[in-house]
A = this chain, B = another copy of it.
Amino acid sequence: MDEFNLIDAFFARHQSRRRDVVIGIGDDGAVVQPAAEHELVIATDTMVEGVHFDSTTPPRALGHKIAAVNISDLAAMGAEPSWLTLALTLPRVDRDWLEEFSAGLFEIADYYHCALVGGDTTRGPLTLTVTAQGQLPKGKAISRGKAKPGDWIYVSGDLGDAGLGLAVSQQRVEVASRHLKRVYDKLHYPMPRVALGQALRGIASACIDVSDGLLADLGQILKQSNCAAQVQIDKLPLSLALTETLEAEDALRYALTSGDDYELCFTLPEQHRGQLETRIAHTAIKPVCIGQVVGGDKGKIRLRDGADEWQFAAAVQPGYNHFNDND
User: Residues on A close to B: CB < 8 A?
Assistant: 1-4, 22-23, 26-34, 36, 38-52, 73-74, 76-77, 79, 83, 85-87, 89, 117-120, 122-125, 127, 129, 131-134, 138, 141, 143-145, 207-209, 212, 216, 220, 224, 319, 324-326
Contact = CB atoms under 8 A, between A and B. Distances in A.
A87 to B, nearest CB: 4
A148 B155 CA distance: 58
Contacts of A27: 77, 143-145, 224
Given A29-B79, A34-B39, A52-B122, 7 more contacts: A1-B319, A32-B39, A42-B85, A44-B129, A51-B123, A51-B124, A87-B131
Copies in the complex: 2
A309 to B, nearest CB: 25
A93 to B, nearest CB: 8
A79 B22 CA distance: 14
A117 B28 contact: no
Contact of A131 (B41, B85, B123): B85
Given A28-B73, A48-B122, A89 B40 contact: no
26 contacts: A1-B216, A3-B326, A27-B143, A27-B145, A28-B43, A28-B209, A29-B73, A29-B74, A31-B39, A31-B141, A34-B38, A36-B36, A42-B83, A42-B131, A44-B87, A44-B118, A46-B87, A46-B89, A46-B129, A47-B122, A48-B89, A48-B125, A87-B129, A89-B127, A120-B129, A127-B127
A326 B123 contact: yes
A128 to B, nearest CB: 10
Contacts of A86: 44
Contacts of A325: 2
B28 A144 contact: yes
Given A34-B40, A42-B85, A224 B326 contact: no
A34 B37 CA distance: 9
Contact of A87 (B22, B87, B124): B87
A132 B87 CA distance: 12
A55 to B, nearest CB: 14
A302 B133 CA distance: 42
Nearest to A197: B28
A43 B30 contact: yes
A39 to B, nearest CB: 5
A119 B73 CA distance: 12
B77 A31 contact: yes
A296 to B, nearest CB: 20
A60 to B, nearest CB: 22
A44 B84 CA distance: 11
A218 to B, nearest CB: 13
Contacts of A123: 48, 51, 326
A208 to B, nearest CB: 6
A11 to B, nearest CB: 12
